[in-house]
Amino acid sequence: MSSLSMRPCGDFRTSYKQDNTIFETSTIRWITIISIIALCFAPLVVDGYFITLLIQISYLGIAALGLNILVGFTGQISLGHGAFFGFGAFASAWLNISFEIPVFLSIPLAGFFTMGVGMIFGMPAARIKGLYLAIATLAAQFIIQDFFARAEWFSGGSAGSMAESLNLFGFVFNTDKSFYYVALFSLVFMFIWGCNLMRSRDGRAFIAVRDHYLSAEIMGVNLNKYRLLSFGISSFYAGIGGALYAHYLGYVSAEGFTIFMSIQFLAMIIIGGLGSIKGTLMGVIFMVLLPEVLASIVGLMKMTDWGNIPMVVDGLSYIKEMAIGLAIIAFLIFEPEGLAHRWTQIKNYWKFYPFAY
Partner 1 sequence: MAESILKVEKISLAFGGVKALTDVSFEVEKGSIFSIIGPNGAGKTSMLNCISGRYQPNSGDIYFNQKNVTNLRPNDRADLGMGRTFQNLALFGHMTVLDNIMVGRHHLLKNNWLTGPIYWASNAQKEELEHRRHVEDVIDFLEISPIRKSIAGTLSYGLRKRVELARAIALKPDLILLDEPMAGMNLEEKEDMARYILDLNEAYGITVIMIEHDMSVVMDISHKVMVLDFGKKLITGLPDEVMADPHVKRAYLGIEDDEIDAQEAS
20 part of the interface to partner 1, by CB under 8 A: yes
- Of 107 and 208, which CB lies nearer to partner 1 in the complex structure? 208
Q: Does 152 bind partner 1 (CB under 8 A)?
A: no
Q: What are phi and psi of 251, to 5 degrees?
A: -155, 130
Q: What angle do CA 136, 194, 348 make, to 5 degrees?
A: 105
Q: Is 4 in the site for partner 1 (CB under 8 A)?
A: yes
Is residue 197 a contact residue for partner 1 (CB under 8 A)?
yes
Which residue in the set 41, 131, 201, 355 belongs to the binding site for partner 1 (CB under 8 A)? 201
User: Does residue 275 touch partner 1 according to CB under 8 A?
Assistant: yes
User: CA–CA separation, 84 vs 243, rounded Å?
Assistant: 10
Residue 171 phi/psi, 5-degree rounding, is -95, 125
Contact between 218 and partner 1 by CB under 8 A: the answer reads yes
- Residue 323 Cβ, how far from partner 1 at the closest point, in Å? 31
Site for partner 1 in 163-182 (CB under 8 A): none
- How far apart are CB 243 and partner 1 at their closest, in Å? 18
Q: Which stretch binds partner 1 (CB under 8 A): 86-94, 123-131, 197-205, 265-273?
A: 197-205
**Choices 94-102, 119-127, 195-203, 259-267 (CB under 8 A): range interacting with partner 1:** 195-203
Q: What is the CA radius of gyration of the chain?
A: 21
- 229: contact with partner 1 by CB under 8 A: yes
What are residue 337's DSSP bridge partners? none
Task: Give residues 70-109 in contact with partner 1 (rule: CB under 8 A).
Answer: none
Q: Which of 64, 89, 208, 261 binds partner 1 (CB under 8 A)?
A: 208
| Residue 28 engages partner 1 in binding (rule: CB under 8 A) | no
> Which of 10, 17, 305, 334 forms a contact with partner 1 (CB under 8 A)?
17
Q: Tell whether residue 215 is a contact of partner 1 (CB under 8 A).
A: yes
Using CB under 8 A, pick the residue from 178, 202, 258, 307 that binds partner 1: 202
* Nearest Cα to Cα of residue 78 among 210, 266, 328: 266
Three-class DSSP labels, 140-166: HHHHHHHHHHHCHHHHCHHHCEECCCE
b/e per residue 117-139 (b: at least 16 CB within 10 A):
bbbebbebbeeeeeeebeebbbe
Residues 190, 237: contact at Cβ < 8 Å?
Answer: yes
Which of residues 158, 175, 222, 296 is near partner 1 by CB under 8 A?
A: 222
Question: If residue 43 lies in a helix (H) or strand (E), which one and from where to where?
Answer: helix 42-45
User: Among residues 82, 156, 194, 283, which is the contact residue for partner 1, using CB under 8 A?
Assistant: 194
| Residue 351 within binding range of partner 1, rule CB under 8 A | no
In 10 A of CB 281, how many CB atoms?
A: 23
CA distance 304 to 297: 11
Return d(Cα 81, Cα 122) in angstroms, integer: 11
Nearest to 279 by CA among 82, 72, 23, 40: 72
Do 14 and 357 meet the contact criterion of CB atoms below 8 Å apart?
no
| Among 96-104, 210-218, 241-249, 264-272, the segment contacting partner 1 (CB under 8 A) | 210-218
String marking each residue 233-272 x if it binds partner 1 according to CB under 8 A: x---------------------------------------
DSSP lists the bridge partners of residue 162 as 251
Which residues of this chain interact with partner 1, rule CB under 8 A? Answer: 1, 3-4, 16-17, 19-20, 192-194, 196-197, 199-205, 207-208, 210-212, 214-223, 229, 233, 275
